[in-house]
Amino acid sequence: MAEEMPAATHGAGVFLELRKRLQSGLLIVRRDVAGSPPDVVVSGGDSCLNVRTPRGELSLTLPAGVTLEQGSCIQTPAGESSEDELHFRLRINIGRGTAEEAPDSGMETLRAKETYCFSCQGCMTRLLQDRMFKRVLPLPNGNWNAIVDDWCCHPDPFANKKLLPRAEDCLLGDTFVLLVRDGSCEQTLTEEVSPVGTEDGQDPKKACRRLALISCASCSSVLGEAVTKETLKLYITQVVVEPVMGDRKPEASLNRSLFLERTVAARLLELSNSLSTFHFSVQTPDGKNFLLLWLLNSDSITVSVPEACFGVERSISSPDLHSPSPRAARALKLLYISCSDAGLQQREVVASWEVNALGHPVVLPLKVCEELLQVIDDSNATLPASMRCMTSYEVAYLRL
């Protein structure tokens, strides 16, 4: 994924973040692009923002109903980055009829007594066809068993018991669905037992747990786990769930990193709204913290344009008719720490999160955790230098 963004290490030539709730925005222009402050002219149009610099003119497409308040753009101090960046604050107007589409992680679309098809996200092979569920029920959240003592005045009645679906049930976890196998699984899915966790000698009494991994028979992508011989756990980052509509064929698969980014962002937003939490701990199936995420806001509209787009030979004052204007999109703003690469300050933050059980657990397969970290690191690399860090955390945006 990193190879697709060669200009990422140099950050953005122009970066824009708008806040819908605050009706304000921040525009950052690299001095290599801007020259001096008077050389930067910002104007607005119908759902667009125009930035003119000595290197050319750039038109940024904004969501419908979002417009610049004319004359509101003023230069503000850039702090330690003043030698490399110019910062501008501006005001925006939001149209009254502007509707905000709710992002969909796939979990919210499942309904009882409707027919669905489950496809592999990697190759779009149909895995489970024409599945209709009599019941679609949410499972308790990820740490429910840690507070079960607060529910019961007698010994834990759920000890060593798994919550499993019946034949026509679909149970919804935070990042997965539980359902019963059907006859088509023999042709579309494969199963392989794999160890989870490592025996590093620090805890010799702790046995290495083993999982029965479920993979796509066509492309070998890991989709989830076999909880029992009859019950499947499929992760929402690995499958595409669509209602069955006549003879319609499954759509082409989205770019993997974009699908992962949007699915995780939508799910984090759903969990944040339903649980009133902003801290998430991305964990592997063995319960190890992999990534700490702190959701700052969900109303950001951002766009980042690499400095390479402002080349002399490819003047953006006369753009190619076939090259669409950079489009600003809704995104979650996150602070994050990778638990594996943390420095001293970061390790202290990780320890504090663990001691205080601060992050709501979000369990994903190890490979998916690594993919998600790459997506987040790529986002961080495209930001202006002044935006990449905040105290002990790094900053990233996940598109919705």
**What pLDDT, in 10s, does the model give residues 234-279?**
999 999 998 887 555 555 567 899 999 999 999 999 999 999 999 9
Over residues 334-372, the pLDDT tens digits come to 999 999 876 888 888 889 998 888 899 999 999 999 999
Distance CA 171, CA 333 (A): 30
Structure confidence at residue 364 (pLDDT)? 95
Residue 11, φ and ψ in degrees, nearest 5: 70, -165
Residue limits of CATH 2.60.40 in the chain = 12-94
Are 119 and 127 a contacting pair, CB within 8 Å? yes
The answer to whether residue 51 scores a pLDDT higher than 80 is yes
**The CATH classification of domain 12-94, taken from the options 2.60.120, 2.60.40, 2.40.50, 1.25.10:** 2.60.40
Residue pLDDT, tens place only, 225-244: 999 999 999 999 999 998 88
Look at residue 307 and give its three-state secondary structure.
helix
Q: Is 56 left (phi over 0), alpha (psi -120 to 50) or beta?
A: left
The mean pLDDT of the chain is 83
Query: At 391, which amino acid appears?
Result: T
More confident residue, 149 or 107: 107
Q: Which residues pair with 87 in a beta bridge?
A: 28, 76
pLDDT band with cut points at 50, 70 and 90 for residue 62: very high
